[in-house]
Amino acid sequence: MIPHDLPTARPHPVPPGLSRRSCLQLGTRLLGGLATACCTLPAAALAQTDHSGGDPLESMQWPQLRRQFIGNEKMQFSSAVEVKGPPMADDAMNVPLMVDARGLLAQGQEIDRIVIVADRNPVQHVATFMPRKARPLLALRFRLEQASPVRALVRTSDGQWHVGQTWINAAGGGCTVPGASRSDGSWSRTLNQVQARLFPNLLEGRGARLRLQVMHPMDTGLVAGIPAFHIEQLELRDSAQQLWWRIELHEPVSENPLLTFELDQRPPGPLTLQGRDNNGNRIEHEVRG
């Protein structure tokens, strides 16, 4: 029994010239078109608002990194630049990394510099390597604060940038924990001591491999009470003061940096390694074959 004081529903009027069946069919077609539009619009909008700037790894930090290190110069993502690291970093304070841009040499390109960055590190800039008389290949260890894309931005002599990248997972905390030599206080007794050795390149039959280690705490400045203290620059010169390579190191490079270089030729005589840290302490060592 419907109370008399409630309004009763009335059927919607059918437009003149249309049967009720035709009106229902028209409404179904309109609703179907609206549903299709709702499904396709988000995908189109997403394609138009790619906040990663076309990054293959879809990193939100990439556009800012590009502005900072490349600016308005031309760039392209390139498979000729190899960046190799472990899928999962067992030790976030010592993550092995190898950058190899020899593929660009095979294309007739001349390498000006290689900039290594980690997108999600609190200090993103890891190192800048200028090969000169060395091959554009570098191996090192660095700190990784969290899972992140790691990239090599390679600038060739024509002003073009070629970018290679990889993704490395990490448990985290690599940049915000003091190193072993800082914890036990041994860093002051070994500061800036150098071990270096040249090896013949047995695979290619020419050139040489240089492996060196410089003792230094490489403090990031992100641990409470410990300011940033790191090696800023190293370079290798021969007896005629010709530059063989130069590298700029930044806070994320691991404690007691261990670096590997490939030289185009075996040096005819001794080489001199020179450098400094951000406190002005000098580094000098003679490298003999």
Q: Walk along the chain (289 residues) and give the pLDDT tens digit of each residue.
A: 444 444 444 444 545 554 555 544 545 554 445 444 444 545 555 456 778 989 999 999 999 999 999 999 999 999 999 999 999 999 999 999 999 999 999 999 999 999 999 999 999 999 999 999 999 999 999 999 999 999 999 999 999 999 999 999 998 899 999 999 998 999 999 999 999 999 987 656 678 999 999 999 999 999 999 999 999 999 999 999 999 999 999 999 999 999 999 998 888 889 999 999 999 999 999 998 7
**Both structure tokens of 280:** 């002005």
Label residues 225-251 b or e (16+ Cβ within 10 Å = b). eeeebbbeebbbbbeeeeebbbbbbbb
CATH classification code of 62-287: 2.60.40.2470
Taking residue 195's Cβ as centre, other Cβ atoms within 10 Å add up to 12
Other Cβ atoms closer than 10 A to 280: 7
Could you tell me the two tokens for 67? 């502005």
- 216 Cα distance to chain centroid: 23
Nearest-angstrom CA–CA distance, 182 and 226: 9
User: Which pTM value belongs to this model?
Assistant: 0.82
In angstroms, what CA-CA distances link 34 with 27, 29, 114, 239? 11, 9, 51, 77
Please state, in angstroms and rounded to a whole number, the distance separating the CA atoms of residues 289 and 274.
17
First to last CA, the chain: 106
- Whether 263 contacts 228, CB under 8 Å: no
Domain ranges of the chain: 62-287
The long-range contacts involving 66-72, CB below 8 angstroms and separated by at least 24 positions, are 69/115, 69/117, 69/125, 69/153, 70/153, 70/161
DSSP state string for 209-224: EEEEEE----B-S-BT
Separation between Cα atoms, residue 124 and residue 260, nearest integer Å: 21
